[in-house]
Structure 1
Amino acid sequence: MSELLIEDDAGVRIITLNRPDRLNALTGSIMASLADACADAARDASVGCVVVTGAGRGFCAGGDLKEGGADKAVVPPNAEAGSRTEQSFARLRGFMETSRLLHEMPKPTIAMVNGPVAGAGIGIAGACDLRFASKSATFLTAFDRIGAGGDFGSTWFWTKILGTGVARELFFLGEKLSAEEAFAKGIYTRLFEEADLRPETMQAARRLADGPRMGYRYMKANLNNAEDWAFEAALDAEALNMGLSTGATALIWREKKKREEQGGG
């Protein structure tokens, strides 16, 4: 059974973590496949929106400690691979490209949170532009339970999304939130009944995939710039990106109209 499922639907790339018996906990093999899948989605011009979700009753329970997580392939120190710490860093940082790609790829990304999410899973969810959740979608940082500092961009994303005060509350106290509590804090963008989660998410994803892709590209760039840039630099980027996006969109619409007039659809 494949640990990762890839599906295309009307310009939407759906990436599904497929270890339902382990609440889609992450092993080295699935983390490597997930990073590759996100890279493929980022560069595939046919993809206009990316949805990440989990199979079964959970989104992602974080790293699978029983399977060794990111450190399973770490070998004794040697001249080629370096120390165990160096090896562990290199492997985990490579896996964490998933979060960078979901956050930075020039197309909208949605976490379809169908159940519990914890540990590294909250980093993956936080990396996405939108988080649509079912009412069974609990939220737990969980890093305090294993004496860990956090990974997959989790501390960065949730500080940016929620503010440092709420992020510190979530990480230090480590309390599990219900879907309603997480929604009230702004963790989840929208909350749905379980039966409605996938159709509502796909409706939004198809709308995004069918929308002005160049507009979304530069819109996302502006929003990402706003996280760190000084105001004047952000204004400069907005002014430039406004011309780039509207110019590209106008060209696409002219080409589309021309094809329609020629009977090309």
Structure 2
Amino acid sequence: MADEVLITNEGGVRIITLNRPDRLNALNGAIMAPLADACADAARDASVGCVVVTGAGRGFCAGGDLKDGGGDKAVVPANPESGSRAEQSFVRLRGFMETARLLHEMPKPTIAMVNGPVAGAGIGIAGACDLRFAARSASFLTAFDKIGAGGDFGSTWFWTKILGTGVARELFLLGEKLSGEEAFAKGIYTRLFDDEVLQAETLKAAHRLADGPRMGFRYMKQNLNNAEDWSFEAQFDAEALNMGLSTQATAMIWREARKAGEDKGG
């Protein structure tokens, strides 16, 4: 994995760290591809029970790195193979945005450990996670209005779902920077901690999730994701099915663990 993305394993917890601290972990081509790869690997690795995403240094993610062309340097003049510049930009960005899709859809809990400022595409990454634990020094800024952009990395979808359309429109259209306390009060951050205990508290929760009933969490997250769009009746059907699947899977795991313990003791 590239140096721009650091991977750490602590038991069943996978920590993915954006590592461009000199640029507040702003996204460019060198970081977005390995970040998407890291999320894909975490999603398919059965040893991982919980994923934590954070930033190196004093920030989480400042969004796209405009000084580096926003990560779009690979776009070349129109050609028959890859199409117009607009088409090339779409394909590149959509591929990079898999990071947010994977964090939202992978069948295991994900936590954004927001250790400082988050803006632009960074709010999409944070919003994609199931939980957002933030330091008091964290801030929140949509920032897309500053560059005349519509929003990416799922930011408009996630924050409309999390906060409701009224608050989401306020955040995106007015583009006002929120302090950690203000963001917590609006429901943007799940928990708010003093900076010096953020990592310890986040990892405490992450290990609790990783050591918990993984099949239960898998189907619980599926239910919660379904509830964002499904009809009432379809959601009831899915809950009934997933309840049986999760409890049977958990019971089987416990039986196997008990049997293994008995065999070892014998």
TM-score range, shorter chain: over 0.9
**Residue aligned with 1:121, SS:** helix
Corresponding position of 2:119: 118
Taking every aligned residue pair, what percent have the same amino acid on both sides?
A: 83
Structure 1 unmatched runs, 5+: none
State the superposition RMSD in angstroms: 0.8
In structure 2, the residue matched to 1:48 is 49
- 1:15-39 per-residue CA deviation (whole Å, 9 max, x = no partner) reads 0000001000000120000000000
Q: Is the 8 A contact 1:70 1:91 kept in 2?
A: no
Cα distance, 1:58 vs structure 2: 0.1
For 2:257 and 2:205, locate their aligned partners in 1 and report how far apart those are by CA, in whole Å.
Answer: 23
Determine the structure 2 residue equivalent to 1:191.
Answer: 192
Which deviates more, 94-103 or 64-73? 64-73
Q: What is the one-letter code of the residue matched to 2:138?
A: A
8 Å CA contact retained: 1:114, 1:133: yes
Aligned to 1:250: 251
Offset at 1:112? 0.1
Alignment correspondent of 1:262: 263
Are 2:198 and 1:201 aligned? no
Equivalent residues, number = 264
CA-CA distance at 1:70 after TM superposition: 3.2
Q: Which residue of 1 aligns with 2:229?
A: 228
Show the counterpart of 1:153.
Answer: 154
Contact conserved, 1:74 with 1:84, CA < 8 A, in 2? Answer: yes
| SS of alignment partner, residue 61 of structure 1 | coil
Q: TM-score with structure 2 length normalisation?
A: 0.98
Matched-pair contact (CA < 8 Å) for 1:113–1:133: yes
Note the alpha carbon deviations across 1:65-99, whole angstroms, 9 max, x for none: 11112311100100101100000000000000000
Q: Deviations over 1:101-150 (max 9, x none)?
A: 00000000000000000000000000000000000000000000000000
Runs of 4+ off more than 4 Å: none
Tell me which residue corresponds to 1:31: 32
Shift of residue 221, structure 1, vs aligned partner: 0.2
- Residues 49, 209 of structure 1: 8 Å contact kept: yes
| Structure 2 letter corresponding to 1:96 | M
In structure 2, distance between residues paired with 1:139 and 1:163 = 17
SS of the counterpart of 1:262?
helix
Aligned equivalents of 1:148 and 1:32: distance in 2? Answer: 21
Counterpart contact for 1:70–1:88, Cα < 8 Å: no
AA in 1 matched with 2:73? K
